[in-house]
Structure 1
Amino acid sequence: MSGTANGTTDKAAEERLRVLHAVWSTPPGWRGRLTAVNHSTIGLRFIVTGLAFFLIGGLLSMFMRLQLAWFGNEVLDPQRYAEFVTMHGTTMMFLFAVPVMEGFALYLVPKMIGARDLPFPRLSAFGYWCYLFGGLFLYSSFLFDAVPDSGWFMYVPLTDSTWSPGLNADFWLIGVTFSEIAAVAAAVETIVAILISRAPGMDLRRIPLFAWAMLVTAFMIVFGFPPLILASILLEMQRAFGFVFFDVARGGDPLLWQHLFWLFGHPEVYIIFLPAAGVVSMVVSTFARRPMVGYTWIVLALVATGFLSFGLWVHHMFAVGIPLLALAFFSAASMAVAIPMGIQVFAWIATLWAGRPWLRVPTLYLFGFFFVFVPGGLTGVMVAMVPFDWQAHDSHFIVAHLHHVLIGGLMFPLFAGLYYWLPLASGREPSEGLSRTAFWLVFIGFNLTFLPMYLTGLLGMPRRAYTYLPELGFHWLNLVSTAAGFVLAIGMVAVLVDVALSFRHGPRCRRNPWRAGTLEWALESPVPDFNFASVPRVQGRDPLWADPLLAEASARPDGLLGDARHGRRELLGTSLLDATPEQVIRISGSTWLPLLAALALAALLACFIAKAYWAALVMLVPLLALLWRWAWTTGHPGAPAMLETAPGTTLPSQYAARNAPGWWALVMSLLVDGSLFASLVFSYFYLWLGSETWPPAGMDVAGWPIALAALALLPACAAAAQFATRALREDARGQAAAGWIATAVLGAAFIALHGWAMLPAGAPTEHAYSAVAWTLAGFHAVHVVIAILFALFVAARLRRSLVTAATPLEARVTAGLWRYTVAQGLLAWAVLHLFPRLA
């Protein structure tokens, strides 16, 4: 009887595994490759594409080094050198550093936190296609002989239409902004995944440090990327339509671009570094054979670094004439950020000191990182001192410091992470001999390339100069840097070749060859598309060390969500603080929608850069249609309010849960949008403070009657949305649908009336006041249009009974969007109509 029972159980388990594979598998062939949304596939694509752009950016730098190897060289003419400098910096900052680490996050975070996938798999796929198309869009500028040539920071007025009349700057502005959609999408995915899809028992004190680093980084992206997105939009509006934001003669200010750019640019340094620090923490703990020393302190240091990084943007503007009191504040903040960074360094050293370090290839890159990053950080403290910064500003000293911190601080942890997680992704190990040889080539080449640059900078060599005079006396140092640069390049290529070859030719390894303690190592290789057959339960910070049998238990389909006979992909949703199971999240499978939406957006931007503005407007129609279809088919429309997670156990579906991923996606998206709005309001007041009269005579907005009438419509929209929400709560779906339609009508009336009130503000091509006022009003009008579409969407779902009192998620999201839109409108109205009258 026992044998029969065991045989029946085994057959049932095999059948459940077969069903899981069928539900979670990606279709074979080219169709599967183009429609895949699985987080492992998308994460690996980000990593591979990022490394490809890394090679391209490195190739550009080799030409630059050849040009600088000796005085009077003519490898590149001045124009081509400026183009290569711009594209090298842009590639490394926007197309390599951030995307490759987000690729690590997309691939690893669900596995680390015990989840089967990310809550919004189609959003991840859409982000990847935007990233790829944005990079290709940027590099297509070579085909049109319109390569961006104004530096990766694109300072105005050099980039306005007067001094850059071609398409060079347009390719940069549109291509970079396009690719940044991927960064923001991945940030929203990462935040929501870590907050509400952790394995049961993984409370906030048990989250792996890499996941903590990515959580802080994702929040930094949410607040840090919008200022640059806004700056790019404003400059493109000035170039394309003649709006005035940065033209001094008409009330603008070119320093506004620098403020907006560096509001992104200095947090960007830590957006790049913090994920690398998370990798270091994971590798240190594994190869020291003990839990991380000072776990709580490291988490606090990560959070503190994230906060402090937003107070450092003027660190890059010490030489523009800012008052000395402000310089003192930003100088102190720049030095203060070294404290949380130092906490992490000492925690890593203490862990290695207290453990039994195992010297393998990932450990070599750890030691290389310590050797490179600490001096780079100390030079950061040096340039934080204003008098020294005035001397070293725009010299090769800054080039050396930048590469020591960004490339040294990222590249060595990146390679450590590549070798550390390679057995998980490939099931094989790399060549030990080639790996160690590549390390020494990279380590020696890196230091000999950039250490001489400190000396050339102190001797007076300016950055971005394509040649120099022999009398300056630093040609031998430049020759050493160039020769070492080729050694570094050979080492990097060797690393990537070694990693690539190991996927096919490396010796096979057993599961968890490093004997690590985190959940991703519970998976076998190749990793199943669903990660865990049963969602694991976590008992400590290092679950595999706390429970050696956890890997076997999670591979059996007899626990949480082990039964997929309903044919739907499911995740377990857990509570924010203590990771208690509280919902079942049904997600979408393979689909064409992300690719088609990204292609439609790419076509729209291509029409825009070709100045076919009517064609760009026409392209909005298929884009909106695809997004409507996307929203209509998200998750499992019509899913029951309660779903089974295990025999005898049920939980609410995401459509009925209060802590639904859709709700958190709205919150995160509104944080992104709020940062964008705050940056626009900052621009308004910055231009106001620099203007003698604001608004200029004859450009004031309309009188109080029209403005107040428009204002009255905003609370009317809020009241109609509240009525619809209350009606749905009482299950009066007809009244709820009517309430949402009324909200949409009132919103449309507000747009018309407020547009009328703005007419006396003047043309946005006349003065900076008119430009920023119309942009602020238009920004809010776009939000009202989006909220109207949401209201009509919910009304349509109500009529199909896809939104009910028991499953009100879409209505809750729409109500939240309308509350935000009304609040934003009130603030915009006050800025436009109230503050100028009070001044």
Structure 2
Amino acid sequence: MTDAEVHAPLPSSLPRPEGEFERLVETWRTPTGWRFMTSVNNTSIGLLYIGTALLFFVLAGILGLLMRAQLAVPDNTLLSPGTYNQIFTMHGTVMMFLFAIPVVEAIAVYLLPNMLGARDLPFPRLSAYAYWAYAFGGLAFFCTLFFGLAPDGGWFMYPPLTGEKYSPGLNADFWLLGIGFIEISAIAGAIELIVGILFTRAPGMTLRRMPIYAWAMLVVGVMIVFAFPAVIAGTALLELERAFDWPFFIQERGGDPILWQHLFWFFGHPEVYIIFLPAAGMVSMMIPTIAGTPLVGQRAVVVALVGVGFFSFGLWAHHMFTAGLGVLEMSFISAASMAVAIPTGIQVFAWIATLWNGRVKMSPPTMFLLGFMFIFVLGGLTGVMVAVIPFDWQVHDTYFIVAHLHYVLIGGMVFPVFAAMYYWTPLINGNRLSETLSRWVFWLMFGGFNLAFFPMHITGLQGMPRRVYTYDANLGWNLLNMLSTIGAFIFASGVVLFFVDLVRTLRRPEKEVGNPWNAPTLEWLTSESYGNRSIPRVTSVNPLWEQPTLSEEVDRGQHYLPNTATGLRETIATSPVNAEPRYLMILPGDSWLPVIAALGTAGFFLLLTVKMILLAWIFGFMAVAGTLGWLWQSDRKPSIDEARVSDDLVLPVNARGTASQSWWGTMIMLIVDASIFASFGFTYIHVSMRLQVCPPPGAALPALPWQFASGGLLLASSALMLLAVRGLGKRRLPWLVLAALGCAAASFMLDLRGHQFAGLEPTASAWGAAIATLLGYQGLHIVLLAIAGPYLCLRAWRGHLGERSRATLDNVALIWHYTTLQGIAGMVLVHILPLLME
């Protein structure tokens, strides 16, 4: 933005019309009683999200205490070996998948809209769906412990031990299918956050002025989009092997157990930084406040965040040093493991410099932030140690790694989250947590943590392996294990005291929030369900410090959108770089439909696990119906074409094509889709390269005439969809869509027939199974088109498609063209790779 734009007069200094504020409040009113479940507002969903994630933190902590009680003394019989395996698997799984990732997304859903100056994120019902799918599925998954059905193969689920031969029960299936939809929930949250951060920032909040926390969540959202598809693909492959005997990981039939490690750790190591970066973003927000001075090197910190995200994708084989990789691969991973310490160190030095420049007040957040820096730096030092290959060979799968992991994750995420709870809890009801109790909480947690996990470095160096349920008394580990157990219970007592204080604080009478820490960022303007009374214009990095009258101006409605222009929930959509106002974004209201869709999704996966096929499909139909129902409601023609959002600014209502938030949400979803396909493609390449002859003896590729005919029909299908998009408003549109659907379906049938004539049996070899997976994934997209096509036709026949309500048409067309590209890419991959290997 130019200097003239930055220093322009305020949008309005005139008195606001009578009744305007009351209409705004009524539009954003949160349902009460049992209807609260229908709420989709970020404030309600964010609090539910945070509360549920903290519940899983407590449950996983209880499992950890059971493990430490078992290991307190040698030759203990408190837990049986099978029970211990289930408990340590669930401890790691719940902490990583049901607490660590959800809690960082939950805090972002709660904080980011107000921090960005927006009324809400662009897809409120998607946030609600992500939360309820996580809550329903996560609680059901945890309850498998009480029926002896909990997974017992470790949170990493390495084949072949988790294959049907060595794990014949349903335990592993609950992990594979349960984690699958939890990852879908995380991806839905990431799409919401990416589009929200890029397109709903307050006018004037350029990328340079965007809060560090928003930068952190933007990087994390992009990381989730590219990292999580690998584990979704991996869990799908292992479940296909267990359910249908497709031998992806069975070495005797051309499979490879190392394939699982590649897919899992391509997700698993970036996940460590997906957990850490939001915590680092929160630290970068809190430290300037407690020091009373701007963050030192803000631009360098932003570059460091991006650098950590970039390097994290080069670290997946960090966990595979002992898997037989070549010298070149190990050297590359070792270098990347050390390089990631550089951008991390930049952030740490920026925090120290900021504290040095300011006048630090020893408040509860301060204590937890200092504790975080101490613990995390120690964890980072041991991380550099295990990046050295010869040392890692010695300590791999010992308790040294357990200590390192907890120093990085608890120090790097849990302590910042507790600092954030003390810092941002006043936003809920205006009350702070007790400063007196906070000192007890901190020292119990800090002292207990170090007593619990520091001795594990020594037990690991002395040779104690991970994942053992007991040990012999003569090995010299007795005292160290007892100290670790005592420390774990001390740490837990601090957590219990924190929750007692939290419940007491939330039960106190509500009062005005204000700005108790004298913070510089916009979330302290208000904590109402509608966000701010008016959306502020931002002219600086620290607006509440550098624009001292901003709070009063916003409360008087002197900035943008002090009303509801259409009678619906709205926010201003801005350009992604300079945050210039582009259009008025209509947001969907409260509804049961996200709850129904989430319940259907969770029920479908969990019922498939217990082989209740008919009931599972009923729940699957419920999920599809709920999703289509909320999409039908969301894509509606606005009542007006333009809206006045201030005395001197009129904006169009909603947008179409590439300017629309729904187009970008669909595009990001397709990037996730392509990443899953790429993981299946990698599987095909990996098993092919293990063959001495490709195709293997007795196998053959589909004949080219079948492939050419199938590809031609796919291209014809996309061409028909192009005509349908251009024929918007004409009667022929539905018939063009149905013709395109017919071509797509015929293409898949030809492809399937070609595979059958080639005699490809997915149960015969991993190579055949990999090709069948590519074909099956294409078939899944044809099924999606078979749902989307008739839905689009129905909207056309009902008169709901037009130039001002065309999001459904544009988004379905995107999915259609992607399906064509994916189908052709799969054919090329299957036929070209064997030629290259000749």
Same fold (TM over 0.5): yes
Aligned equivalents of 1:618, 1:502: Cα separation in 2: 43
Range with bigger deviation, 412-421 or 743-752: 743-752
SS in 2 for 1:669: helix
Q: Does 1:740 align with 2:737?
A: yes
- What does residue 571 of structure 1 align with? 571
- What does residue 435 of structure 1 align with? 438
SS in 2 for 1:317: helix
The correspondence of residues 282-297 of structure 1 with structure 2, limited to 5 A, is: 282-297=285-300
Range with bigger deviation, 501-510 or 163-172: 501-510
Aligned equivalents of 2:602, 2:258: Cα separation in 1: 31
Superimposed CA distance per residue, residues 446-494 of structure 1 (whole angstroms, 9 cap, x where no aligned partner): 1111110000000011111111122211211111111111111101111
User: Following TM superposition, by how much is the alpha carbon of 1:674 offset from its aligned partner in structure 2, in angstroms?
Assistant: 1.4
Give the TM-score taking structure 1 as reference length.
0.95
- What does residue 198 of structure 1 align with? 201
Range with bigger deviation, 144-153 or 368-377: 144-153
Q: Does 1:326 align with 2:322?
A: no
The aligned amino acid for 1:757 is G
- What does residue 787 of structure 1 align with? 785
- What does residue 17 of structure 1 align with? 21
The correspondence of residues 362-377 of structure 1 with structure 2, limited to 5 A, is: 362-377=365-380
Range with bigger deviation, 429-438 or 603-612: 603-612
- What does residue 694 of structure 2 align with? 694
Superimposed CA distance per residue, residues 311-341 of structure 1 (whole angstroms, 9 cap, x where no aligned partner): 1000000001111111111111111000000
Q: Does 1:774 align with 2:777?
A: no
User: Following TM superposition, by how much is the alpha carbon of 1:132 offset from its aligned partner in structure 2, in angstroms?
Assistant: 0.9
8 Å contact from structure 2 (residues 118, 200) kept in 1? yes
Aligned equivalents of 1:401, 1:506: Cα separation in 2: 43
SS in 2 for 1:776: helix
The aligned amino acid for 1:625 is A
Q: 2:187 aligns with which of 175, 184, 188?
A: 184
SS in 2 for 1:734: coil
Aligned equivalents of 2:509, 2:469: Cα separation in 1: 43
The aligned amino acid for 1:422 is T
- What does residue 38 of structure 2 align with? 35
Range with bigger deviation, 107-116 or 690-699: 690-699
Q: 1:109 aligns with which of 107, 112, 124?
A: 112
Aligned equivalents of 1:507, 1:733: Cα separation in 2: 56
The correspondence of residues 550-561 of structure 1 with structure 2, limited to 5 A, is: 550-557=550-557, 559-561=559-561
Q: 1:144 aligns with which of 143, 147, 158?
A: 147
User: Following TM superposition, by how much is the alpha carbon of 1:142 offset from its aligned partner in structure 2, in angstroms?
Assistant: 2.4
- What does residue 512 of structure 1 align with? 515
8 Å contact from structure 1 (residues 40, 529) kept in 2? yes
Superimposed CA distance per residue, residues 753-772 of structure 1 (whole angstroms, 9 cap, x where no aligned partner): 11111212422222112211
Aligned equivalents of 2:754, 2:488: Cα separation in 1: 60
The aligned amino acid for 1:742 is A
8 Å contact from structure 2 (residues 638, 653) kept in 1? no
Gaps of 5+ in 1: 1-8
Superimposed CA distance per residue, residues 742-763 of structure 1 (whole angstroms, 9 cap, x where no aligned partner): 2222111111111111212422
SS in 1 for 2:659: coil
Distance 1:639 1:160, change over 3 A: farther
User: Following TM superposition, by how much is the alpha carbon of 1:792 offset from its aligned partner in structure 2, in angstroms?
Assistant: 3.2
Range with bigger deviation, 234-243 or 83-92: 234-243
User: Following TM superposition, by how much is the alpha carbon of 1:795 offset from its aligned partner in structure 2, in angstroms?
Assistant: 3.0
8 Å contact from structure 1 (residues 666, 813) kept in 2? yes
Distance 1:38 1:61, change over 3 A: same
Aligned equivalents of 2:635, 2:288: Cα separation in 1: 38
The correspondence of residues 271-420 of structure 1 with structure 2, limited to 5 A, is: 271-420=274-423
The aligned amino acid for 2:290 is F
- What does residue 762 of structure 2 align with? 764
Gaps of 5+ in 2: 1-12
Aligned equivalents of 2:114, 2:504: Cα separation in 1: 24
The aligned amino acid for 2:682 is F
8 Å contact from structure 1 (residues 246, 253) kept in 2? yes
Aligned equivalents of 1:507, 1:15: Cα separation in 2: 25
Distance 1:721 1:76, change over 3 A: same
The aligned amino acid for 2:761 is A
SS in 2 for 1:124: helix
- What does residue 826 of structure 1 align with? 824
Percent of aligned pairs with the same residue?
46
User: Following TM superposition, by how much is the alpha carbon of 1:647 offset from its aligned partner in structure 2, in angstroms?
Assistant: 4.8
Aligned equivalents of 1:357, 1:506: Cα separation in 2: 30
Aligned equivalents of 2:512, 2:449: Cα separation in 1: 31
Aligned equivalents of 1:506, 1:642: Cα separation in 2: 42
Distance 1:240 1:298, change over 3 A: same
The aligned amino acid for 1:275 is P
Aligned equivalents of 1:788, 1:606: Cα separation in 2: 25
8 Å contact from structure 2 (residues 534, 562) kept in 1? yes
8 Å contact from structure 1 (residues 570, 587) kept in 2? yes
- What does residue 4 of structure 1 align with? none
Q: Does 1:721 align with 2:721?
A: yes
Aligned equivalents of 2:650, 2:742: Cα separation in 1: 41
8 Å contact from structure 1 (residues 20, 564) kept in 2? yes
8 Å contact from structure 1 (residues 639, 655) kept in 2? no
SS in 2 for 1:538: coil
8 Å contact from structure 2 (residues 262, 316) kept in 1? yes
8 Å contact from structure 2 (residues 57, 99) kept in 1? yes
Q: Does 1:816 align with 2:820?
A: no
8 Å contact from structure 1 (residues 607, 616) kept in 2? yes
User: Following TM superposition, by how much is the alpha carbon of 1:572 offset from its aligned partner in structure 2, in angstroms?
Assistant: 0.6
- What does residue 529 of structure 1 align with? 529
Aligned equivalents of 1:242, 1:639: Cα separation in 2: 55
Aligned equivalents of 1:347, 1:340: Cα separation in 2: 11
SS in 1 for 2:634: coil
8 Å contact from structure 1 (residues 133, 179) kept in 2? no
Superimposed CA distance per residue, residues 156-177 of structure 1 (whole angstroms, 9 cap, x where no aligned partner): 1111111111111111111111
Aligned equivalents of 2:362, 2:107: Cα separation in 1: 23
User: Following TM superposition, by how much is the alpha carbon of 1:740 offset from its aligned partner in structure 2, in angstroms?
Assistant: 2.2
The aligned amino acid for 1:373 is F
The aligned amino acid for 2:755 is M
- What does residue 153 of structure 1 align with? 156
Distance 1:332 1:241, change over 3 A: same
8 Å contact from structure 1 (residues 13, 556) kept in 2? no
8 Å contact from structure 2 (residues 14, 558) kept in 1? no
8 Å contact from structure 2 (residues 308, 344) kept in 1? yes
Superimposed CA distance per residue, residues 384-419 of structure 1 (whole angstroms, 9 cap, x where no aligned partner): 111000000100000000000011111111111110
Distance 1:699 1:821, change over 3 A: same
Distance 1:710 1:219, change over 3 A: same
8 Å contact from structure 2 (residues 214, 281) kept in 1? yes
User: Following TM superposition, by how much is the alpha carbon of 1:635 offset from its aligned partner in structure 2, in angstroms?
Assistant: 5.0
User: Following TM superposition, by how much is the alpha carbon of 1:624 offset from its aligned partner in structure 2, in angstroms?
Assistant: 2.2
Aligned equivalents of 1:470, 1:823: Cα separation in 2: 62
- What does residue 5 of structure 1 align with? none
Q: Does 1:460 align with 2:463?
A: yes
Q: 2:138 aligns with which of 135, 138, 157?
A: 135
8 Å contact from structure 1 (residues 761, 773) kept in 2? no
Q: 1:121 aligns with which of 113, 119, 124?
A: 124
Aligned-residue CA RMSD in angstroms?
Answer: 1.8
SS in 2 for 1:733: coil
8 Å contact from structure 1 (residues 83, 147) kept in 2? yes
User: Following TM superposition, by how much is the alpha carbon of 1:833 offset from its aligned partner in structure 2, in angstroms?
Assistant: 2.9
Superimposed CA distance per residue, residues 346-375 of structure 1 (whole angstroms, 9 cap, x where no aligned partner): 111111111121221101111101110101
User: Following TM superposition, by how much is the alpha carbon of 1:615 offset from its aligned partner in structure 2, in angstroms?
Assistant: 4.1
8 Å contact from structure 2 (residues 433, 501) kept in 1? yes
Superimposed CA distance per residue, residues 181-233 of structure 1 (whole angstroms, 9 cap, x where no aligned partner): 22111111100000000000000001101111111111111111111111111
User: Following TM superposition, by how much is the alpha carbon of 1:655 offset from its aligned partner in structure 2, in angstroms?
Assistant: 4.0
User: Following TM superposition, by how much is the alpha carbon of 1:801 offset from its aligned partner in structure 2, in angstroms?
Assistant: 3.2
User: Following TM superposition, by how much is the alpha carbon of 1:11 offset from its aligned partner in structure 2, in angstroms?
Assistant: 9.6
8 Å contact from structure 2 (residues 636, 805) kept in 1? no
Aligned equivalents of 1:658, 1:807: Cα separation in 2: 14
User: Following TM superposition, by how much is the alpha carbon of 1:559 offset from its aligned partner in structure 2, in angstroms?
Assistant: 3.9
- What does residue 267 of structure 1 align with? 270
8 Å contact from structure 2 (residues 116, 197) kept in 1? yes
Q: 2:485 aligns with which of 482, 485, 492?
A: 482
Range with bigger deviation, 646-655 or 162-171: 646-655
8 Å contact from structure 1 (residues 733, 799) kept in 2? no
Aligned equivalents of 1:618, 1:503: Cα separation in 2: 40
The aligned amino acid for 1:769 is W
